[in-house]
Structure 1
Amino acid sequence: MGHWWYRNIVEPGKLPLLLALASFVLTFLVTRAITRLIRAGKGPFGNLTPGGVHVHHVVPGVILMVLGGFIALAGGRRGFGSGVAAVLFGIGVGLVLDEFALILHLDDVYWSEEGTKSVEIVILTVALVALILAGFLPFGVNEIGPEESTDRFTVVRTVAVNFLFALVALTKGKGRIAVIGVFVPFVALFGAVRLARPNSPWARRFYRHRPKARARARVRAYRHDRRWSALRRKAEHIIGGAPSR
């Protein structure tokens, strides 16, 4: 375990990324716990309203992201400073993405159905960063033997090919499949060859003069959403709290 940790986390300079991910996830979970307590009127917590203005936690989140980013640029990828920068950046990202829906809609939709977009983007971000950390990318690793080098570059080549399929899946309106498919073989290919969602850029470009394809895309999207949306929303509500009615 120690050898794996050094070769794949410390030596390639991934430790700051790991610290940022851990602080990001912890900040999001703590923030959601506090906001749920505030919503229920429990505990010592409350909204910050200096001068009658509700200060959303996206504000300190942006400040921490800026601080962490500039410290990281000034200090490089290694050393104590890079660790501090990573933690500050991760905390800032956790606070900002927790209110992603508010930024997207420019409205306080935190406890509405639209607010679940924040939980969705957090899950996708965690999945993407975790997959990057888990990947055995060769960059920054010294003294790689021929066999290990071949294995690592095979992974890189696979990721590159998957990335092309992921781009197609993304233009077809399949963001979750695209993110996972960059690193998991055949997932992106599955999303790339399937029908696009009816409102996706791919559908607007290539289904414009194909009424049958548009109709099939609408039917398939309706069936998919009917089958999986309720389950996805339930999981999001467990993580982030159920919306207000």
Structure 2
Amino acid sequence: MGDWWQRNIIEPGKLPLLLALTAFVVTFVVTRVITRLIRAGKGPFRNIETGSVHIHHVVPGVVLTVVGGFCAVAGGLHGFGSYAAAVVFGIGAGLVMDEFALILHLDDVYWTEDGRKSVEVVVLTVALAGLLLLGFAPFGVNGLDSQEAQNRGTVTSTIAGNLVLVLIALFKGKARIALFGVIVPFVALFGAVRLARPASPWAKRFYRRRPRARARAALRAYHHDRRWAGPGRKFQDWIGGAPDAGPERALERR
């Protein structure tokens, strides 16, 4: 275990990333537990308010993210200061991303359907950071051997080719696949060759005069959403809590 830790975490300089990711996950989990207790009216926790203004936890999150980011840049890659900055940054990022939907909509949508976007983004962030921690590099250049890595043309073509696949997947309305495709090239290829989502820019541009392609895209999207929407919602509810059932409760403060 000690050899693995030294070889895979310490020597590559991934300890700050591990600390930031751990702080991010712990902060998100603790924050969700506290907000669910506040929502249920249990425990000693209460909303933080100044007069009539509700202070969302994204506010201290932004401050901690900025402080941790600048300290990490100033502190270099190693040393206690760098590790402390990584923890501060992870805590701040966890608070910010927990209210990602609020930032996106500029409204208090924490316990509404739109609030699910925060959970989705947190899960994607953890997955991508985990891939980086395991050694996956953006655009797949980590797959090159030493001789190929010395060839700038090979590296450039690898990055450019995968970037094209990522953009095609994004244009086809597959944002999650495109995001993971930045790290794992095969994922981008999978998204690029599959049918586009029916409401995507690709479908509107290239399926306009292809009724069969439009019908196949709509049918595939229907079956995909029908298969995964239910489990996906249950997973999000398990992590972040179920949204409010009615519009009157959706407007209540946490």
Range class of TM-score, shorter chain: 0.7 to 0.9
Query: Over residues 33-83 of structure 1, what are the superposed CA-to-partner deviations in whole Å (9 max), with x where a residue is unaligned?
Result: 000000000000010111110011111100000000110111111111111
* Residues 67-120 of structure 1, C-alpha deviations (whole Å, 9 max, x = no match): 001101111111111111111110111001101111111111110111111000
Alignment partner of 1:186: what SS?
helix
| Matched length | 234
Q: Distance in 2 between matches of 1:115 and 1:212?
A: 36
Identity level (%): 69
Give SS of 2:51's match: helix
Give distance in 1, aligned partners of 2:207 and 2:54: 45
What letter matches 2:112 in structure 1? S
Q: Which consecutive unaligned segments of at least 5 residues does structure 2 have?
A: 138-144, 246-254
Q: Are residue 75 (structure 1) and residue 75 (structure 2) matched? A: yes
Letter in 1 for 2:177: I
Tell me if 1:110 matches 2:110. yes
8 Å contact 1:136–1:152 — kept in the other structure?
A: no
The 5 Å alignment of 1:42-57 reads: 42-57=42-57
What CA distance in whole angstroms lies between the structure 2 residues aligned with 1:30 and 1:94? 10
Give the 5 Å matches for 1:88-237. 88-135=88-135, 160=159, 164-184=164-184, 186-237=186-237
Q: CA deviation at 1:183?
A: 4.4
TM-score under structure 1 normalisation? 0.85
State TM-score, norm by structure 2.
0.83
Deviation for aligned residue 1:181: 3.9
Query: More displaced, 63-72 or 211-220?
Result: 211-220
CA distance in 1, matches of 2:168, 2:125: 19
Which residue of 2 is the match for residue 36 of structure 1?
A: 36
Q: What's the offset of the Cα at 1:149?
A: 5.0
Q: Which runs of 5+ in 1 are unaligned?
A: 138-147
* Residue pair 2:136, 2:183 contacting (<8 A) in 1 also: no
Q: Offset of 1:163 from its aligned partner?
A: 5.6
Deviation at 1:7, TM superposition (A): 2.5
Residues 202-224 of structure 1 deviation map (CA, whole Å, 9 limit, x = unaligned): 22333344444333322221221
- Deviates further, 159-168 or 28-37: 159-168
Counterpart in 2 of 1:62?
62
Distance in 2 of aligned mates of 1:236 and 1:113: 11
Q: Give the equivalent residue in structure 2 for 1:145.
A: none
Residue identity matched to 2:73: L
Over the aligned positions, Cα root-mean-square deviation in angstroms equals 2.6
Paired position in structure 1 for 2:140: none
Could you tell me which residue of structure 2 aligns to residue 20 of structure 1? 20
Instruction: Pick closer, same or farther for the CA change 1:183–1:221 going to 2, 3 Å.
Output: same
Matched residue SS, 2:108: coil
Question: Structure 1 residues 136, 217: CA separation in 2 closer, same or farther (over 3 Å shift)?
Answer: closer
Does structure 1 retain, via aligned residues, the 8 Å contact 2:37–2:45?
yes
**Whole-angstrom CA distance in 2 between matches of 1:162 and 1:213:** 25
- What is the one-letter code of the residue matched to 2:214? R
